[in-house]
Amino acid sequence: MSHVVLDDLTKRYAGGALAVDKLNIDIADGEFVCFVGPSGCGKTTALRMIAGLEDITSGEVRIGDRVVNDLAPRDRDIAMVFQSYALYPHMTVYNNMAFGLQLRKTPKEQIDKAVKEAARILDLDRFLERRPGQLSGGQRQRVALGRAIVREPAAFLMDEPLSNLDAKLRVQTRAEIARIHQRLTATMIYVTHDQVEAMTMGDRIAVLNEGVLQQIGTPKDLYESPTNRFVAGFIGSPSMNFMDLTFEHNGAVPRLAGEGAEVVLDDKQTAMLRDKGIETIALGVRPEHLTVGGPDGPGLKLTADVDVIEFLGNEELIHAQSAGRDIVAIVDTEAELKVGEKVVLTAAPRRLHLFDPSTGLSLARG
Amino acid sequence: MSAAALGRPASARPWHRFTALLGRRRPVINILLALVAIFWLVPSIGLLIISLRPESAFTQSGWWTVLTAPSRLTLQNYSTLFSQGLKPGGLLDSLITSAVITVPTTILVTTLSSLAAYSLVFGRWRGRDAVFLVIVGLMVVPVQMALIPVASLYKGISSATGFNPFGTVFGVIIFHVAFGLPFGIFLMRNFYSGIPRDLLEAGRIDGAGEWKLFRRVVLPLGVPAAASLAIFQFIWVWNDLLVALIFLGNSAHVPLTIFLFSQVRELASQYWVISTGGIISIIVPLIVFFSFQRYFVSGMLAGSVK
C-alpha cells in the first residue's frame, strides 16, 4: 500500500546538467532500499524529488497508488531525515517531534502519546525539555529520527543520516535504524555514499553513477554478480582489483595473459570469448578472494612485489606491485609475508569477474 | 551592530587576542572606559539637573552648583508640564503624538521587513537578487530628496480620493515606513540568509505551508535581528524632526521633537521646558532599549544543524 515507484524519473537543471537520468525503481511496501554512489551521482537529487523538494523534469513518482509529482511535500505522506539533522533550534526536543503532528491538527493526547513512545524507543525520555543546542550529535540525530517516526509516514526518506556521526556512534545508530525499520515495517529509502552502510542495512541497493542507475539488487547480488565494472569497483571494501589481459587462444591452452598475471580458462569461458570475438578483457578480482600460493590449475595466478603490509589483526592487507599496478589482497597472517618479497597470488575461477574493457559490462563470471 | 554579529560567532582569534590584552591591562582600560563614560554622561546629567531645578535658578547659577547644594532640586517642572494635560501643543499631547507616530512605524517596518526578507531569501521566484539590489540601492536615497516628491504625491492622492495625507500623522507614518523599509529588509534578509535551508525543508515535509514556516520557524529565529531593527527604527523615528516639521509643522498635534523645537526662541527660550521635555524624550528610547535588550540572544541557531 505504500510502495514507491520511480518511473523514468529525470532531473535536468536549468543550466542543462543532467542530475538524474530515467531512473526506474520499484520499491515494495516495507522494503529498505539504499541509494548508493559517489558524490554527485544523483542519489540525493532523486531522494529530494521523491520528497517533493526538487522539481521533477520528467517521469513520475508514485507513492502508494498516487502520482505525487504535483503534490507539495506535506501532502506526500513522507518523513525525511536530513544529513544536517535540521532540527528547529528554538523548540524543545518534545516540540521538535510534535511539530509535524501539531501542524496536522492531531489531538493533543495523541501527540503526547506518539512523542513519548518515540522518545522511549530512541532513549530520549530525559531530554524532552532540552533544546537541540544542549544535545550531543548522536542525540540530535535520534531526535531527527524521532521527528520522522511520530508521523507514521508511508515512507521514510533518509539523506546520509549518519555521515556527521563519529565511527562508533555511526555503528550504533545504524543498528538503531535497522531496529526501527523492523519494528515499523515501513518503507525506507536511504541515501548514502558509504557502501558498507548500504550493504549492511539495505534489503536492496541501487547503485547510481552520473545520474544513471547502474544496478539494483540485494547486497549479495551486487557483491557476487556486479553488472559492470563500476558496480564491481564500488561495492566491496577494499575495492576490486582490475587488470587488463589479452585473450590468447591460438596456443595449446587458451588463456588470458598480461601485466604479470595469467588466467587459465575453461572450455565454457573460451567458447564464450571466441563467440563474442573478444581480444582483451578487464579482469576483476576482489582482495579477499586472492590467496598466497595455492594449487596450480584453472584460475588466476599473478606475481607481485609486496609493497606495504597493513596488519588488521586476524588478517593482513597487502599492497603489491604487479607490472606497475597496485594489487590489494587480504591474506591470512600465517603467510608471514615481508615487504620487498615476491609473492604469487591465486584466485579460483569462480571468483573472477570478466568485463568488456570498452563498455565496462560484465561478460560472465569466470 | 551588524546582523552577522548577532547570529554567527565572530571570528574567534582576534577577539581572544583583544581580551587577552584586556586581561593584562585591565585597571588602565577600566579607568579609560570610566572616563569615556563620564565624558558622555555629563551633558545628560546636566540636562537632568537643569530639569530638576526651579526655572529661575537657570539664569542665576550653573547646574553643577547643585552638587554642593542638593536640597534645591524639585520635580516642579515635571508637574507643571504634565498638569497642562492633553492641551494640543502641550507636552503630554506631543508625547502621545510621538508615540502614535513611532509605535506603528516600528511595528510596520519590522513586520514588513521580516515578510519581505522571507520572500527574498526563501521564496522561489525569479529576480529575487535583482529586487534585493534595488532595495539596497534605495538605502542611499536621502530623505531630503524625497520631501517634495512625496508632498506632491500626497497632493495627488488628495485630489484622487479626497483624503489628504499631508499634515496628518498617517502621512508621516507612511513616509517613515517607506524610508525605514530598505534598511530593515537589508538587515533581515542578511540575517535570514544565515538560516539553513534544511530547516525550511524539514518544515515543509513536516507539513508547514509558507505562512506557518514564517510564523513558527523563521520569525522566532529572527527575533534578535528583529529586535535590533525595532530599536533602530524606534529611535530614528522618535528623534525625527525634519519629516515631522515638513509634514506636520502646521498641525495642532505635533511630536515631541517639534514641541521642544518650538520652545527655542531668540530671546526668551523656555529652558525649563526644553530640559524637562528633553529628559522625557530621552527616557522613552531608553525604556525601549532596555526592554528589548533581552532578545539579543546570540547563538540562536545552535544545535539546529551540524
Q: What is the pTM of this model?
A: 0.81
Q: Which of A90, A95, A145, A173 to mutate to test the interface with B (most CBs of B within 10 A)?
A: A90
Closest-CA residue of chain B to A84: B305
Which H, E and C letters describe chain A, residue by residue? CCCEEEEEEEEECCCCCEEEEEEEEEECCCCEEEEECCCCCCHHHHHHHHHCCCCCCEEEEEECCEECCCCCHHHCCEEEECCCCCCCCCCCHHHHHHHHHHHCCCCHHHHHHHHHHHHHHCCCHHHCCCCHHHCCHHHHHHHHHHHHHCCCCCEEEEECCCCCCCHHHHHHHHHHHHHHHHHHCCEEEEEECCHHHHHHHCCEEEEEECCEEEEEECHHHHHHCCCEHHHHHHCCCCCCEEEEEEEECCCCCCEEEECCEEEECCHHHHHHHHHHCCCEEEEEECHHHCEECCCCCCEEEEEEEEEEEEECCCEEEEEEEECCEEEEEEEEHHHCCCCCCEEEEEECHHHCEEECCCCCEEEEEC
How far is the alpha carbon of B17 from chain A, nearest alpha carbon, in Å? Answer: 27
Identify the pLDDT of residue B2. Answer: 43
Identify the pLDDT of residue B70. Answer: 65
Reported ipTM: 0.84
Q: Do B305 and A131 touch (CB under 8 A)?
A: no
A134 contacts chain B (CB < 8 A):
yes
Q: Do A74 and B301 touch (CB under 8 A)?
A: no
Name which of B205, B217, B306 is nearest A88 (Cβ-Cβ).
B217
B306 contacts chain A (CB < 8 A):
yes
Identify the pLDDT of residue B3. Answer: 41
Identify the pLDDT of residue B5. Answer: 41
Q: What whole-number percentage of chain B has pLDDT above 90?
A: 47
B219 contacts chain A (CB < 8 A):
no
Identify the pLDDT of residue B267. Answer: 65
End-to-end alpha-carbon separation of chain A, Å? 41
Q: What's the mean pLDDT in B217-234?
A: 92
Q: Which residue has the higher pLDDT, B128 or B61?
A: B128
pLDDT-derived band at B178, boundaries 50, 70, 90: very high
Identify the pLDDT of residue B162. Answer: 86
Identify the pLDDT of residue B4. Answer: 41
Name which of B207, B221, B299 is nearest A74 (Cβ-Cβ).
B207
Peptide bond into A238 cis (omega under 30): yes
Report residues of chain A scoring pLDDT below 70.
Answer: 1, 364-366
Residues of A in contact with B298 (CB under 8 A): none
How many angstroms separate the Cα of A327 from the Cα of each of A179, A302, A311, A357?
A: 38, 10, 16, 18
Identify the pLDDT of residue A80. Answer: 94
pLDDT-derived band at B66, boundaries 50, 70, 90: confident
Range in A115-119, B19-23, B151-155, B163-167 the model is least confident about? B19-23
Beta-ladder partners of A18: A12
Residues of B in contact with A88 (CB under 8 A): 199, 202-203, 217, 304
Beta-ladder partners of A241: A285
pLDDT-derived band at B260, boundaries 50, 70, 90: confident
The candidate with the shortest Cα–Cα distance to A311, out of A325, A296, A332, is A332
Q: Which residue has the higher pLDDT, B56 or A80?
A: A80
Residues of A in contact with B301 (CB under 8 A): 89
> Edge-to-edge strand order for the sheet containing A155-159?
A78-81, A155-159, A187-192, A32-36, A204-209, A212-217
Identify the pLDDT of residue B61. Answer: 76
Q: Which of A71, A99, A139 to mutate to test the interface with B (most CBs of B within 10 A)?
A: A99
Name which of B198, B208, B216 is nearest A86 (Cβ-Cβ).
B198
Look up residue A191 and give its three cell numbers.
Answer: 541515501
**Mean pLDDT score of chain A:** 89
Identify the pLDDT of residue B67. Answer: 75
Whether the per-residue pLDDT at B148 is higher than 60: the answer is: yes
Closest-CA residue of chain A to B306: A84
Identify the pLDDT of residue A209. Answer: 94
Judge whether A37 and A84 are in contact, CB under 8 Å.
Answer: no
**Mean pLDDT score of chain B:** 85
Q: Do B303 and A134 touch (CB under 8 A)?
A: yes
Name which of B198, B206, B303 is nearest A100 (Cβ-Cβ).
B206
Q: Which residue has the higher pLDDT, B4 or A19?
A: A19
Whether the per-residue pLDDT at B8 is higher than 60: the answer is: no
Q: Which of B124, B125, B126, B206 to mutate to test the interface with A (most CBs of A within 10 A)?
A: B206
Identify the pLDDT of residue B172. Answer: 94
Q: Which residue has the higher pLDDT, B21 or B40?
A: B40
Identify the pLDDT of residue B129. Answer: 92
Range in A124-138, B56-70, B111-125, B277-291 the model is least confident about? B56-70
How many angstroms separate the Cα of A121 from the Cα of each of A125, A142, B264?
A: 9, 10, 74
